[in-house]
Amino acid sequence: MENTVIDVEFQNVSKYYGKEKVVDEVNFRINRGEIFVLIGPSGCGKTTTLKMINQLVPHSSGQIFVRGKNVTELDPVELRRSIGYVIQHIGLLPHLTIRDNVNFVLQLQRVPQKKQRERANELIKMIGLPDSYLDRYPHEISGGEQQRVGVARALAADPEILLMDEPFGAVDPLTREQLQNELLRLQKTIKKTMVFVTHDMQEAFKVGNRIGIMRRGQLVTMGTAMDIVNAKDDFVRAFIGREAVFSALDTIPVFQAIIRDCPVIHEGDAIDPADPRFKDWENVFVINQNGHCLGYVSLTDFKAHEKVTTEKLREITSPCLPSDSLKKAIGEMLWGKRAWLPVVTKEGNFEGIVSFQSCVSILALDD
């Protein structure tokens, strides 16, 4: 990756409570604009690691840099104000209205009233709740809505970095999925650097650009969803479990598994089933001058040098987009009892095909 800015960096960071080492020599770098997920069994030190970033928990040794500055040289209050914090179990203050909760950080910084009002209206719109909610109290809205307000509150001062400590832990699975989708949609526009703690592997695969797995205070492995499912470490494999493969498939786009060398001919061309290009293939895809796919023909239907005619053209069914997930593609194949699917862009250009083989080989990559 070129031109990446490191927003958070840990260098050999440890945390002791008395003699007990809860975080053990942790090293990582989080790039600007990425969602970095910390996951592990309870007591693995993931939340402690998160809280060391804004110094809610001071570290015992090693160095922590936030946006290039050593946190021990910064005023902790100023540091915390510059970082958004979404608290476990929501943590909205029950004595304040939604407006005052959202504006809490701005009030701490004594931002003018007028600005606060504008920002509250902006944020409530951003999280998709009506303006009238601003004057309600936290107990008057649902858990899912409270979670959204929690995210809005963290965004109030427009921080570059967002810490999220199991932000969607306190809601039912359906709402959680919805909130995850909203977060990802939001992230497309706000492009914040997020450190996200969870114990839910599926959530990690879904929201994380990169995932770090912790165990007994140590960062065992770190990488993309694909790196994680391909990890050889026994603990990691046991921790993520078989189900994780499906979650990982959900995060990998089809374009990584496209077979691009499938045979293609142009509309109106003559076809020769003996053409060496068609060796190992049963079907040939027909495209027009604009690259649009008209359909495909089966080689067995043709004699040598026969012209491709519309009668013999078979329609391509259920094409997938390059941005679709592998999980979706595999599901489609299983559902339609097919061994492959054509991949067509939104503009209708033919990209190639995906097959079971090509999907599976992605996960079976040996290095």
Partner 1 sequence: MEKDHLWMSTWKYLASKSDFWISTLLSHVMIVVWASLIVIVLGVVLGILITRIKPIRGVVLGVAGLFYTIPILALMGLFIPLMGIGLKPALIALSMKGILPVIRNTYAGINQVSPKFKEAAIGMGANRAQLLIRTELPLAFPVIFAGIRTAVVMNFSMATYAVFIGAGAMGTIILVGMRTFNDGMLLAGTLIVAIATILLDRILGWIEKRIQKRFAL
Residues near partner 1 (CB under 8 A): 51, 54, 56, 77-82, 85, 87-89, 91-96, 104-105, 107-109, 137-139, 153, 163
- Report, in Å, the least distance between residue 163 CB and partner 1: 8
Q: Of 6 and 56, which CB lies nearer to partner 1 in the complex structure?
A: 56
CB 120 within 8 A of CB 103: yes
Least Å from the CB of residue 155 to partner 1: 12
Nearest residue (CB) to partner 1, 127 versus 162:
162
Residue number with CB closer to partner 1 (109 or 361): 109
Cβ 7 to partner 1 shortest distance, Å: 18
Residue 305: partners with Cβ closer than 8 Å, 6 or more residues away: 270, 271, 272
User: At closest approach, how far in Å is the CB of 124 from partner 1?
Assistant: 18
* Minimum gap (Å) between residue 66 Cβ and partner 1: 14
CB of 90 to partner 1, least distance (A): 9
**Cβ distance to partner 1 smaller for residue 111 or 321:** 111
CB of 352 to partner 1, least distance (A): 49
H-run or E-run covering 29? strand 20-31
How do 218-223 and 69-70 pair as beta strands?
Answer: unpaired
Query: Other C-beta atoms within 10 Å of 344: how many?
Result: 20
| Rounded Cα gap, residues 62 and 241, in angstroms | 32
Cβ proximity to partner 1, 156 vs 228, nearer residue: 156
If 0-12 CB within 10 Å is exposed, 13-18 middle and 19+ buried, where does residue 173 land? Answer: exposed
Tell me the sheet residues that pair with 218. 215
Least gap, CB of 84 to partner 1 (angstroms): 9
SS3 assignment, position 131: helix
Helix (H) or strand (E) holding 85: strand 83-86
For partner 1, the closer CB: 18 or 94: 94
Q: Among positive and negative, which fits the CA dihedral 20, 22, 28, 33?
A: negative
The pair of three-digit structure tokens given for residue 123, joined into one six-digit string: 């944020």
Asked if residue 312 lies in contact with residue 301, where contact means CB atoms within 8 angstroms, the answer is: yes
Three-class SS of residue 136? coil
> Which of 103/230 has CB closer to partner 1?
103
Cβ nearer to partner 1, comparing 107 with 323: 107
- Across the beta sheet with 61-66, what order do the strands follow? 20-31, 6-17, 61-66, 69-70
